[in-house]
Amino acid sequence: MSDDSAPTLSAAAFATIFPFHLAFDRHLAITRIGASLQRLCPHWRPGLRLDQAVRLERPRIDLNFETLAASQHLLFVLADSEQRFRLRGQLVPLEPDELLFLGSPWLTEPGAIKALGLSIDDFALHDPVIDLLQLLQSQRAAVADLRKLTDKLSRQQQALRDANARLAEQYSALEQAQALSHSILETAVDGIIVIDETGAIESVNPAAEHLFGYPAGALLGQNVRVLMPEPTRQAHDGYIARYLRTGEPHIIGSGREVTGLHRDGSPIPLYLSVGAVAGADRPRFTGILHDVSERQEAARALQQAKDIAEAANRAKSEFLANMSHEIRTPMNAVIGMTGLLLDTPLNPEQQDFVETIRLSGNTLLTLINDILDFSKIESGRLELEYAPFDLRACLEDALDLVTPAAATKNLELAYWMGTGVPARIVTDMTRLRQVLVNLLSNAVKFTPTGEVRATVSAGPRDGLRCELRFAVTDTGIGIPADRIERLFQPFSQADSSISRQYGGTGLGLAISKRLIELMSGSLTVSSTPGQGSTFSFSVLVSTTSGKASGSADSAPWTGQRLLVVEPHDINRMTLTRQATSRGLQVQAVTSADDALALLQAGERFEGALIALHGPNLDGRRLLERLDALPEAQQLPVVLLVPFSFRRQNPLPPQVRALLVKPLKVATIDRALAQLFGGLALSTPTPAPIEPDDSAPHAPLRILLAEDNVVNQRVALKILERLGYRAEVASNGFETLEALARQPFDLVLMDVQMPELDGLETTRRIRTRWPGAQGPIIIAMTANAMRGDRERCLNAGMDGYIAKPIDREELRSALRTAGRRGS
């Protein structure tokens, strides 16, 4: 296309295409300004000189028309005089004396459009400035992306560095742990083996290699079975398989004794503990092996020594038992014969000699029985016999046995059952009573003046189980602290001189301690020399229902008033409790003055229980003074007297009866009946108020077959009270020997006896002495079980008395035997 055909632009089209054009004349005066440029520089006007409006940045030429006209091939950059923007463009001739600048603002910042007060519409569409700006913006975005990426990479790199540092620390710790483990493995005395799930040995320490006799490294890779003898070897794979299948540990996590196999084929006794390695990528197991050859050897030696010692002990016990038996047999003969001798006419001196022989024989027999009892406990042959019984009766029986000894010293003897103590309990009554009698006897023995008291209180209860706490307290000589330890040692007393002074084997406390331990209890002592001692023990018993002795069936004297004058606290409490339970209103005082003061103050009573003796009390004197008081002249009185009391002078007229100490509920009831009338109280054992020493001496020859010493003493005591005397046999054989030696009218036969029990003894008696040749045999047994009576009668016995012995029942049996004997 030639120049001639160039299109001619309209002014509007030109303005659209070149909105930033600028024309000037030969004198450099501006002649035209494009619309957009005018908006950019509103103060530019035609006529303004070019050098006043702009500065020529490029090209660096003189700003005159000719030079400019000659530079049409150059790219021009004009800066406005205020340095706000630059124009980029070129010069073209417009007229001979006029040049035209075609261009647009050169922008490198997208914000510049707005800053210059322009909009995108100020630019011609063909102008690439906007595209350039967009491109620039894109480039910036790309740079921003790059920066963001770099930041992210930096962060990640830092995180990696941190992770590396942590890893390095962990690695170091791991190395140290490994070094430690290695050191432990290498120096451990015990063998340590690690196996995988197939049983292959992965690691083994020198101790294990040495233990099994293998050179270093020889065991690695081998199956651990090579270290096991049959049949463990066969079973081992099964153990691992089962653990992996079920997770059941079997021996994992625990230890046990096993037998290992030495390389030379010999067995090694081992203690093996097996563990599963936690956190391992695959199952691994550790075995720690300790050679227990020496330990087993030591245990064997120990067992052997124990066996020997036990055999020696058994031999000792058997020797003791045999000895005792051998001694007892002739002793029984001596005692039996002296009994017969006493029934013959003797002069007083002979009588005295024979009584001494008999007494010494009995003492010796007691000692022998103690030794036998102790050896039985020591050899573990003693078994407790559990049966229900009345605790109060048991306590009163025990007290009965020591009453005569206490009476000779004028000791006050009393017992107290605390609230909540069950009336009937289940334990071994005979053995419990044996302990009580032993403690009471000791207390009486070592107490010259004052009192001995037995108390029982209830401890915690658990359903039918109850802890009973017993205490026997005296005001005796006491025990020095450094002697207490030896107290419970067999054949020992607190002071060896004591045995000479007081007698005894020194076995009593040792036996009691063992018996209490058998009853799940313990025996302790507290003592102050010169002031007295307290022996305490607790036993666990079962409680059982049933009526207790002395329990109130009725309150026949409700509303009547009773005066009690008793300085001794337990006696006063016992009297008050029993009288109150019978409905009486009780006023209890401790002295005569207090009693008189009450009466003088106008208090009235229907009866009085007054102690004969006591601190600050003279009962007789009080009675005289009462007699002098008009309001008390008619007061009926029961006098509380010691066991040793013997009536010498006539009693004052107001005394209706005597109540003999130690106090028992039955005798108290009878005393109250004397005061208030109505004797028909239904107490189970209406004991006499005074000792039953008036019973006729019945010429009955009685043999008591009873193994327990205390039971013997109880039975003998009751018989004595009833006016009888008896010989004693401690088991069935002794019974048969005694019968062979001399005839007896009556045998009181304990059913449970060692060696030959009562039932078998009875059968043998009936075979050997049939019909009337044989004695009457009455069973005495604590076995209050259904069918016991039948078993006794079937064995050939004639009657049956349950323990604890009921005096009336025994009296009745004796009368029956007496009738038959006569």
- If one asks whether residue 137 binds another protein (CB under 8 A), the answer comes out as yes
Q: Provide, rounded to whole angstroms, the least separation between the CB of residue 136 and another protein.
A: 9
Q: Provide, rounded to whole angstroms, the least separation between the CB of residue 182 and another protein.
A: 43
Tell me how far apart the alpha carbons of residues 472 and 456 are, in angstroms, rounded to a whole number. Answer: 9
Q: Is 74 helix (H, G, I), strand (E, B) or coil?
A: coil
The DSSP annotation for 755-794 comes to SS-HHHHHHHHHHHS-GGGSPEEEEEES---TTHHHHHHH
Cβ closest to another protein, residue 133 vs residue 722: 133
Is the separation of the CB atoms in 112 and 132 below 8 Å?
no
CB atoms inside a 10 Å sphere around CB 498: 17
Binding segment for another protein (CB under 8 A), chosen from 40-48, 126-134, 322-330, 443-451, is 126-134
Cβ closest to another protein, residue 130 vs residue 525: 130
**Which ranges of 521-661 does DSSP label H, i.e. alpha helix?**
569-581, 592-600, 619-628
Tell me how far apart the alpha carbons of residues 202 and 227 are, in angstroms, rounded to a whole number. Answer: 14
Q: Give 270's contacts (C-beta < 8 A, 6+ positions apart).
A: 211, 257, 258, 259, 260, 289, 290, 291, 292
Nearest to 732 by CA among 777, 789, 785, 793: 777
- Cis status, amide bond into 662, omega within 30 of 0: yes
Binding segment for another protein (CB under 8 A), chosen from 125-133, 182-190, 623-631, 773-781, is 125-133
CB atoms inside a 10 Å sphere around CB 192: 19
**CB burial of residue 326 (10 Å; 0-12, 13-18, 19+):** exposed
Q: Provide, rounded to whole angstroms, the least separation between the CB of residue 130 and another protein.
A: 7
Cβ closest to another protein, residue 143 vs residue 220: 143
Q: Is 427 helix (H, G, I), strand (E, B) or coil?
A: strand
Q: Provide, rounded to whole angstroms, the least separation between the CB of residue 156 and another protein.
A: 8
Tell me how far apart the alpha carbons of residues 195 and 203 are, in angstroms, rounded to a whole number. Answer: 7
Is the separation of the CB atoms in 203 and 194 below 8 Å?
yes
Binding characters for another protein, 643-662, by CB under 8 A (x = yes):
--------------------
Tell me how far apart the alpha carbons of residues 268 and 272 are, in angstroms, rounded to a whole number. Answer: 11
Site for another protein in 447-506 (CB under 8 A): none
Q: Provide, rounded to whole angstroms, the least separation between the CB of residue 87 and another protein.
A: 18
Q: Provide, rounded to whole angstroms, the least separation between the CB of residue 133 and another protein.
A: 6
Cβ closest to another protein, residue 57 vs residue 145: 145
Strand partners, 252: 274
Binding segment for another protein (CB under 8 A), chosen from 96-104, 128-136, 233-241, 542-550, is 128-136
Tell me how far apart the alpha carbons of residues 467 and 513 are, in angstroms, rounded to a whole number. Answer: 17
Q: Provide, rounded to whole angstroms, the least separation between the CB of residue 44 and another protein.
A: 23
Binding segment for another protein (CB under 8 A), chosen from 116-124, 207-215, 492-500, 799-807, is 116-124
CB atoms inside a 10 Å sphere around CB 750: 27
Site for another protein in 142-171 (CB under 8 A): 142, 144-145, 148-149, 152
Among 3, 62, 66, 131, binds another protein (CB under 8 A): 131
Binding segment for another protein (CB under 8 A), chosen from 133-141, 223-231, 384-392, 532-540, is 133-141
Nearest to 689 by CA among 633, 651, 635, 716: 651
Tell me how far apart the alpha carbons of residues 103 and 78 are, in angstroms, rounded to a whole number. Answer: 10
Q: Provide, rounded to whole angstroms, the least separation between the CB of residue 125 and another protein.
A: 7
Size of the site for another protein (CB under 8 A): 24
Q: Which two tokens stand for residue 348?
A: 């007083």
Cβ closest to another protein, residue 58 vs residue 140: 140
Among 67, 72, 138, 183, binds another protein (CB under 8 A): 138
Binding segment for another protein (CB under 8 A), chosen from 136-144, 372-380, 669-677, 727-735, is 136-144
Cβ closest to another protein, residue 139 vs residue 794: 139
Is the separation of the CB atoms in 232 and 259 below 8 Å?
yes
Binding characters for another protein, 53-92, by CB under 8 A (x = yes):
----------------------------------------
Cβ closest to another protein, residue 122 vs residue 798: 122
- If one asks whether residue 130 binds another protein (CB under 8 A), the answer comes out as yes
Q: Provide, rounded to whole angstroms, the least separation between the CB of residue 35 and another protein.
A: 17
Cβ closest to another protein, residue 130 vs residue 458: 130
- If one asks whether residue 248 binds another protein (CB under 8 A), the answer comes out as no
Site for another protein in 90-109 (CB under 8 A): 109
- If one asks whether residue 126 binds another protein (CB under 8 A), the answer comes out as no
Q: Provide, rounded to whole angstroms, the least separation between the CB of residue 134 and another protein.
A: 5
Helix (H) or strand (E) run with residue 154 in it: helix 129-187
Is the separation of the CB atoms in 236 and 193 below 8 Å?
no
Q: Within a 13 Å sphere around the CA of 78, how many CA atoms are in the beta-carbon half?
A: 22
Among 61, 135, 235, 785, binds another protein (CB under 8 A): 135
- If one asks whether residue 134 binds another protein (CB under 8 A), the answer comes out as yes
Cβ closest to another protein, residue 70 vs residue 143: 143
Q: Provide, rounded to whole angstroms, the least separation between the CB of residue 131 and another protein.
A: 5
Q: Which two tokens stand for residue 121?
A: 């519409």
Binding segment for another protein (CB under 8 A), chosen from 129-137, 244-252, 253-261, 680-688, is 129-137
Q: Provide, rounded to whole angstroms, the least separation between the CB of residue 78 and another protein.
A: 22
- Cis status, amide bond into 93, omega within 30 of 0: no
Give the footprint of another protein on this chain (CB under 8 A): 109-111, 113-114, 118-121, 125, 130-131, 133-135, 137-138, 141-142, 144-145, 148-149, 152
